[in-house]
Amino acid sequence: MPVDLKQFRQNLTYTVQAPVAQILSDLQQIKEIDRLAEQKQQEFGKQALYYFIGIIITIILMIIASSLITNNNSQSLLFILFFVVVIGLIIGFIYALVNRFKFGRINILNYRYQSTQKILQMLSRDIDSNAEINLQLSFQPTEKADYKTNTIPHPVKSGWKIDHHQQEWLKIQGKFLDKTRFDLSATAISKKQYGWKRGSSGKSKYKSKIKSGGLDINLNIAYPQRRYAAVKTLENEARGAIKLPNLAHLRSLKIADKSIQFAVRIAPNVADNQAEIYQTITTMFLSVYQILNLAKKLAR
């Protein structure tokens, strides 16, 4: 089913329950929408710049011409001509800016659909081709007011505040061929510092700074107890089976009778790196299945 461009532009969210092949096709369409948006945004940005330069040049020429021409009638005609040209250029400038903003809204974060594509391609190897999975993928900015969790005073800068944000931009739920169910999510963390700062001239200026706090990856696995009955006995050894990239660290690991809950945080400097996100999630699944396969052997 083609992506509804109007609805996508409004909420910048893709939600679906469908087989992996269909979702990958939709993500490819989202990629093309993003590519076109980037191209159009650049084109209209250049147009706006050219119109602005044209306005400045026309005004300068009008000033020069009015000083050189002394005839009142000629001056009036020249003024009308330049006025019409300037109005036309201003209309073109506004039109270009409006379209640049319109396409800028759907110029989305590339790493989100890129990492999602690779993750689904990896997972599809162990999922029935006809099985449906649930996917929620958001391209909203993390600093949106809806995702603010709290506001605190700045510990050092007087009068400044810090807003903390958390946004779950990815959620995938599905079932593998061995009947194991998985629930994967990615939550972006950021903080925004803002306040008024007095400059060297004595004037106060509003300043703000956004800093990433990293990316939390949560993986919940609900496994068939009959198939992997010995998992609970491996709770002490499980941490040794966890292998993660250098820029990711284990936050928590909980093993219950029928599930494994696994939480990892990716470092802030690579929280938007699609290769790092994919590698971390891949190693999380591999680590979980290393535990499950060992439990399977013990059960025999």
Residues 76-110: tens digit of each pLDDT: 788 888 889 999 999 999 999 999 998 888 889 99
Which pLDDT does position 299 carry in this prediction?
59
- Please report the pLDDT score of residue 10 as a whole number: 83
185: exposed, middle or buried (Cβ count in 10 Å: 0-12, 13-18, 19+): middle
How far is residue 34's CA from residue 42's CA, in Å, rounded to a whole number?
A: 12
pLDDT at residue 186, rounded to an integer = 97
Both tokens of 152, joined, read 């605190």
| 137 Cβ neighbours under 8 A, 6+ residues apart | 13, 14, 15, 112, 113, 116, 169, 170
Q: Indicate if the pLDDT at residue 43 is higher than 90.
A: yes
**CA atoms of 123 and 242, how far apart (whole Å):** 19
Band (pLDDT 50/70/90 cuts) for residue 121 is very high
- Residue 66 pLDDT: 76
Distance of alpha carbon 144 from alpha carbon 166, whole angstroms: 10
Confidence of residue 239 (pLDDT cuts 50, 70, 90): confident
Q: Is the Cβ–Cβ distance between 27 and 113 less than 8 Å?
A: yes
145: exposed, middle or buried (Cβ count in 10 Å: 0-12, 13-18, 19+): exposed
Residues 23-28, mean pLDDT to the nearest whole number: 94
Residue 54 or 196, more confident: 54
Which residue matches tokens 């999922």?
Answer: 127
How many CB atoms are closer than 10 A to CB 68? Answer: 9
48-57, 138-147, 290-299, range with the lowest pLDDT = 290-299
pLDDT band at 277 (very low <50, low <70, confident <90, very high): very high
Long-range CB contacts (within 8 A, 24+) of 89-92 = 89/51, 89/54, 89/55, 89/58, 90/51, 90/55, 92/47, 92/51
Task: Work out the pLDDT band at 65, boundaries 50, 70, 90.
Answer: confident
C-alpha angle 291/294/300, rounded to 5°? Answer: 140
Q: Where are the beta strands (DSSP E) in 20-157?
A: 132-138, 148-153
Strand partners, 245: none
Q: Which residues contact 57 (CB under 8 A, 6 or more apart)?
A: none
Binned at pLDDT 50, 70 and 90, residue 197 comes out as: confident
Give the pLDDT confidence score for residue 77 in this predicted structure.
82
Of 226, 141, 140, nearest to 180 by C-alpha is 226
Compare 274 and 64 and report the one with higher pLDDT: 274
pLDDT band at 207 (very low <50, low <70, confident <90, very high): confident
Residue 298 has pLDDT above 70, yes or no: no
What's the pLDDT score for residue 1?
56
Average pLDDT over residues 272-278: 95
When the pLDDT of each residue in the chain is averaged and rounded to a whole number, the result is: 88
pLDDT at 271: 94
pLDDT band at 223 (very low <50, low <70, confident <90, very high): confident
